[in-house]
A and B are shown apart, each in its own frame.
Chain A
């Protein structure tokens, strides 16, 4: 379980001005739940997510993971409990698929046999041929890279998966395919997932709940029906309408 309690993030800009990136956000994400953070660029959605794994530290408020304040935890240990997936996979180009996926287990001191078994299991889990294990990332397609990125995030079997626009850079067909695979995967592994996106359709499709942010504030949180039938403001209605009309 993840809980954000009155979280703020203020950056001091030049000449005394300060920028409020995240403003008093409170949000609880239940065990096994997928919550999609959505908003325009600069809405604070990515900053909010990065406060969960302490890549960004809150200026005020608390972030709790499993009931513990993240500021009281060793950031390295915390991050290894939280799988992390970024756009285009973020694979290390000088490592093979197997070494990318096996990196954290290796750093955790696993034995080679155990790592190899784990890598093969993860490849199967994300629908990749085991024969790809010795390929380098540049020899993979965009969809394959993203699948490897997900497999890498799952390597240490984390309780929580943080995904930063994971399907953002893919063509529509691959994207749709990966959406389906993500849903299947979630049915098997049942992780707690925080997924940042700017695509409302994706958010509605993948998220148990969707959290809409604007100018650092959490505007509305709910499922698709809530957003369609009970938009919290004209802005929300306009945002949902503009996003969904674009894709017929």
Chain B
């Protein structure tokens, strides 16, 4: 949302209006947009505004139709099923391209330029040595070796109608298959624990591992041909762009795209560098253009951080707000609960429940919130709230129970009511312990809140996660450094507060 607003305001302020190029968050999308951006910068006098990693499909497409973005690269399969919402199964690649292009034009005023030439669909990849030994190059050949193969596919693929179930039906595959995390699947196939995995056909990681992508000889997987999608209004203003971007048509094969992705993901090269190397090698721009572009992108880390200072500040504020609200809610709910537990021993098992909550991995807890509450800030607040409960609850109970029993007895015998005993004796004496629990909860929350970006709650996790996806260390650090600093500051500040709330008689004089 913030990014959209920034994008919008940038468009409004700059004159002449730059071409705004966006991308989705993953490597390939960003790389294609960077390639288009450099091509336009090198071959026209137009300036380009990059909004790379803007968001998911819906966010980018919405920004495009709203005119906040001028172009990005989209996949025909995504256009068919997501953008146009066509429920009928996808057929022939060309037919899909034509249908998507016509309907985006008539319904949204968008022009789909000729595709780049590769098809990033699902694929089955087999361990090279195994494929060689069995002589397998096509998926249909797998039926002959059904007993000899073990298969590990991502959980999403295992359960998607257009994933494993359909594949099994189409090819008549009866294989022993299990679901596993995608990163693990690559390691497992490398070590020989499994023979076959699912993959994206242009995934750069396929290069890192010794695997063979099998031919989809029955054309089961839907086509995901990538093509530039441009606002028709932009092409009316700058008709030369149609021809220029058309020069990219059919230039990138599946293997080529895989190599370009691998250059970023496996070799750790920057998007700018991979894009310019590609454009020079293809003779689409001159080396001097690339040097100019490279100089522009060679900002120092300090300059990078300085340029992001405003963004970092607002993310830090978001982060603090997220943490603060969650911890305050936790204190409000947990303090009375802790008191209640000390009064009613039958409620003690609640401590165990809070302990179990704490053992749920943070990402899993955040993921659990999505079906219950949905994406966004409220989900993150609830998850952080649940995490903050245990330290505060445990310390409240411990703090109150550790008050000298003689003092409690004295207070009762003097004629203090239960409430007076609590507010005059137990809580003041327990306050340092309770405060220590709040401090622990807050520091934990600052850390866990970086994961909140996974469910769209913002905060300093945003640049960290985007940076991880884009292999951009500077971006990761621009979130991680302030988050670590915040944790240290919060710890120090609350340590100070702990001393302030500690009753004077307990510390000295």
User: Within 8 Å CB of B428, what residues of A?
Assistant: 94
Q: Is the interface of B mostly helix, strand, loop or mixed?
A: helix
Query: In residues 89-112 of chain A, which contact B (Cβ within 8 Å)?
Result: 90, 92-96, 103-104, 107
Whether A79 and B506, one on each chain, are in contact in the complex, defined by CB atoms closer than 8 angstroms, is no
Query: In residues 18-37 of chain A, which contact B (Cβ within 8 Å)?
Result: none
Closest to A153 in B: B414
Whether A136 and B415, one on each chain, are in contact in the complex, defined by CB atoms closer than 8 angstroms, is no
- Contacts A107-B416, A107-B420: A90 and B505 contacting too (C-beta < 8 A)? no
Q: Counting CB contacts under 8 A, is B503 at the interface?
A: yes
Whether A93 and B413, one on each chain, are in contact in the complex, defined by CB atoms closer than 8 angstroms, is no
Query: In residues 396-429 of chain B, which contact A (Cβ within 8 Å)?
Result: 406-407, 409-417, 420, 424-425, 428-429
A109 CB, nearest partner CB in chain B, Å: 12
User: Within 8 Å CB of B504, what residues of A?
Assistant: 94, 136
Provide the bound-state CA to CA distance between A153 and B412, in Å. Answer: 13
Q: Counting CB contacts under 8 A, is A86 at the interface?
A: yes
Closest to B410 in A: A90
Q: Counting CB contacts under 8 A, is B509 at the interface?
A: yes
B49 CB, nearest partner CB in chain A, Å: 61
Q: Counting CB contacts under 8 A, is A138 at the interface?
A: yes
Question: Which interface class (under 10, 10 to 19, 20 to 34, 35 or more) fits B?
Answer: 20 to 34
Question: Which interface class (under 10, 10 to 19, 20 to 34, 35 or more) fits A?
Answer: 20 to 34
Whether A92 and B414, one on each chain, are in contact in the complex, defined by CB atoms closer than 8 angstroms, is no
Whether A79 and B407, one on each chain, are in contact in the complex, defined by CB atoms closer than 8 angstroms, is no
A93 CB, nearest partner CB in chain B, Å: 5
Residue from the list A90, A93, A104, A139 in contact with B509, Cβ < 8 A: A139
Whether A95 and B505, one on each chain, are in contact in the complex, defined by CB atoms closer than 8 angstroms, is yes
Residue from the list A75, A94, A162 in contact with B505, Cβ < 8 A: A94
Q: Counting CB contacts under 8 A, is A76 at the interface?
A: yes
User: Within 8 Å CB of A94, what residues of B?
Assistant: 428-429, 503-506
User: Within 8 Å CB of B407, what residues of A?
Assistant: 90, 92-93
Interface mask (A108-151 → B, CB under 8 Å = 1, otherwise 0): 00000000000000000000000000011111000000000000
Whether B505 and A84, one on each chain, are in contact in the complex, defined by CB atoms closer than 8 angstroms, is no
- Contacts A55-B413, A84-B413: A93 and B506 contacting too (C-beta < 8 A)? yes
Provide the bound-state CA to CA distance between A53 and B420, in Å. Answer: 18
Q: Counting CB contacts under 8 A, is A187 at the interface?
A: no
B464 CB, nearest partner CB in chain A, Å: 43
Provide the bound-state CA to CA distance between A53 and B410, in Å. Answer: 12
Provide the bound-state CA to CA distance between A81 and B318, in Å. Answer: 56
Query: In residues 302-347 of chain B, which contact A (Cβ within 8 Å)?
Result: none
Q: Counting CB contacts under 8 A, is A247 at the interface?
A: no
B407 CB, nearest partner CB in chain A, Å: 6
Closest to A76 in B: B415
Residue from the list B406, B414, B416, B505 in contact with A137, Cβ < 8 A: B505
B337 CB, nearest partner CB in chain A, Å: 24
Whether B425 and A92, one on each chain, are in contact in the complex, defined by CB atoms closer than 8 angstroms, is yes
- Contacts A76-B415, A76-B417, A80-B415: A93 and B505 contacting too (C-beta < 8 A)? yes
- Contacts A94-B429, A107-B420: A138 and B414 contacting too (C-beta < 8 A)? no
Whether A90 and B506, one on each chain, are in contact in the complex, defined by CB atoms closer than 8 angstroms, is no
Whether A84 and B420, one on each chain, are in contact in the complex, defined by CB atoms closer than 8 angstroms, is no
- Contacts A86-B406, A92-B407, A94-B428: A136 and B505 contacting too (C-beta < 8 A)? yes
A204 CB, nearest partner CB in chain B, Å: 26
User: Within 8 Å CB of B406, what residues of A?
Assistant: 86-88, 90
Provide the bound-state CA to CA distance between A110 and B9, in Å. Answer: 64
Provide the bound-state CA to CA distance between A95 and B414, in Å. Answer: 15
Closest to A80 in B: B415
User: Within 8 Å CB of A92, what residues of B?
Assistant: 407, 411, 424-425, 429, 505
Whether A79 and B505, one on each chain, are in contact in the complex, defined by CB atoms closer than 8 angstroms, is no
User: Within 8 Å CB of B425, what residues of A?
Assistant: 92
Closest to A95 in B: B505
Provide the bound-state CA to CA distance between A77 and B417, in Å. Answer: 10
A106 CB, nearest partner CB in chain B, Å: 9
Residue from the list B410, B413, B505 in contact with A96, Cβ < 8 A: B505
Closest to B431 in A: A94
User: Within 8 Å CB of A80, what residues of B?
Assistant: 414-415
A162 CB, nearest partner CB in chain B, Å: 8
A79 CB, nearest partner CB in chain B, Å: 3
A94 CB, nearest partner CB in chain B, Å: 3
Provide the bound-state CA to CA distance between A234 and B416, in Å. Answer: 44
User: Within 8 Å CB of A137, what residues of B?
Assistant: 505
Most buried by A among B411, B416, B505, B506: B505
User: Within 8 Å CB of A152, what residues of B?
Assistant: 414
A242 CB, nearest partner CB in chain B, Å: 29
Whether A77 and B506, one on each chain, are in contact in the complex, defined by CB atoms closer than 8 angstroms, is no
Provide the bound-state CA to CA distance between A104 and B505, in Å. Answer: 19
A57 CB, nearest partner CB in chain B, Å: 13
Most buried by A among B406, B414, B428, B506: B414
User: Within 8 Å CB of A139, what residues of B?
Assistant: 509
Whether A138 and B409, one on each chain, are in contact in the complex, defined by CB atoms closer than 8 angstroms, is no
Whether A79 and B415, one on each chain, are in contact in the complex, defined by CB atoms closer than 8 angstroms, is yes
User: Within 8 Å CB of A95, what residues of B?
Assistant: 505
Most buried by B among A92, A107, A136: A92
Provide the bound-state CA to CA distance between A162 and B414, in Å. Answer: 10
Provide the bound-state CA to CA distance between A103 and B414, in Å. Answer: 10
Closest to A137 in B: B505
B482 CB, nearest partner CB in chain A, Å: 38
Closest to A164 in B: B413
Provide the bound-state CA to CA distance between A237 and B411, in Å. Answer: 38
Closest to B415 in A: A79
Whether B414 and A84, one on each chain, are in contact in the complex, defined by CB atoms closer than 8 angstroms, is yes
Whether B413 and A53, one on each chain, are in contact in the complex, defined by CB atoms closer than 8 angstroms, is yes
Please, could you name 30 A-B residue pairs with CB atoms under 8 Å apart, sorted by A?
A55-B409, A55-B412, A76-B415, A76-B416, A77-B415, A79-B412, A79-B413, A79-B414, A80-B414, A80-B415, A84-B413, A84-B414, A86-B409, A92-B411, A92-B429, A93-B407, A93-B429, A93-B503, A93-B505, A93-B506, A94-B429, A94-B505, A95-B505, A103-B414, A104-B415, A107-B416, A107-B420, A136-B504, A136-B505, A162-B413
Which B residues fall within an 8 A CB radius of A?
A: 406-407, 409-417, 420, 424-425, 428-429, 503-506, 508-509
Which 7 pairs between the two chains have the least Cβ-Cβ distance?
A94-B503, A79-B415, A136-B505, A90-B410, A80-B415, A84-B413, A94-B505
